[in-house]
Structure 1
Amino acid sequence: MLPLLLASSSVYRRDLLSRLRLPFICSSPDIDESHRANEPAVELVKRLAEQKARALAAQYPEHLIIGSDQVAALDGRIIGKPHTFENAREQLLAASGKRVSFLTGLALLNTKTGHCQVDCVPFTVHMRELDVERIERYLRTEQPYDCAGSFKAEGLGVSLFQSTEGPDATSLVGLPLIRLVDMLLAEGVQIP
Structure 2
Amino acid sequence: MLQSPPALILGSTSRYRRELLERLRMPFTVQSPEVDETPRPGEAPAALAVRLALAKAQAVASQHPDAVVIGSDQVADLEGKPIGKPGTHERAIEQLRAMRGKQIVFQTAVAVVCLSRGFAAQSLAPVVVRFRDLSDAEIETYLLAEKPYDCAGSAKSEGLGISLLSAIESDDPTALIGLPLIRTCELLRQAGINPLGRS
TM-score, normalized by the shorter chain, greater than 0.5: yes
Counterpart in 2 of 1:132?
A: 136
Distance in 1 separating the partners of 2:46 and 2:145: 32
Distance in 2 separating the partners of 1:91 and 1:42: 18
- Report the CA distance between 1:185 and its aligned residue: 1.6
Unaligned runs of 5+ in 1: none
- Report the CA distance between 1:11 and its aligned residue: 0.3
Q: How many matched pairs?
A: 192
Secondary structure of the residue that 2:54 maps to in structure 1? helix
- Report the CA distance between 1:129 and its aligned residue: 1.5
Secondary structure of the residue that 1:112 maps to in structure 2? helix
Deviates more, 1:96-105 or 1:38-47: 38-47
Structure 2 matches for 1:145-164, cutoff 5 A? 145-164=149-168
Structure 2 matches for 1:1-192, cutoff 5 A? 1-192=5-196
Structure-2 change in CA distance of 1:87 and 1:58 (3 Å):
closer
Distance in 1 separating the partners of 2:155 and 2:143: 8
- Report the CA distance between 1:46 and its aligned residue: 1.2
Letter in 1 for 2:161: G
Tell me the alpha carbon deviations over residues 94-116 of structure 1, each in whole angstroms, 9 at most, x when there is no partner: 21111111101211001221210
Deviates more, 1:133-142 or 1:33-42: 33-42
Unaligned runs of 5+ in 2: none
Distance in 1 separating the partners of 2:103 and 2:192: 38
Distance in 2 separating the partners of 1:91 and 1:58: 35
- Report the CA distance between 1:76 and its aligned residue: 2.2
Distance in 2 separating the partners of 1:75 and 1:43: 14
Secondary structure of the residue that 1:56 maps to in structure 2? helix
- Report the CA distance between 1:169 and its aligned residue: 2.3
Distance in 2 separating the partners of 1:76 and 1:187: 32
4+ runs of 1 displaced by more than 3 Å? none
Tell me the alpha carbon deviations over residues 105-159 of structure 1, each in whole angstroms, 9 at most, x when there is no partner: 2110012212101121100111112101111011111111111111211111111
Q: TM-score, normalised to structure 2's length? A: 0.92
Cα RMSD, aligned residues only:
1.2
Letter in 1 for 2:48: L
- Report the CA distance between 1:82 and its aligned residue: 1.1
- Report the CA distance between 1:190 and its aligned residue: 2.5
Q: TM-score, normalised to structure 1's length? A: 0.95
Using the aligned pairs only, state the percent identity.
Answer: 47
Structure-2 change in CA distance of 1:190 and 1:76 (3 Å):
closer
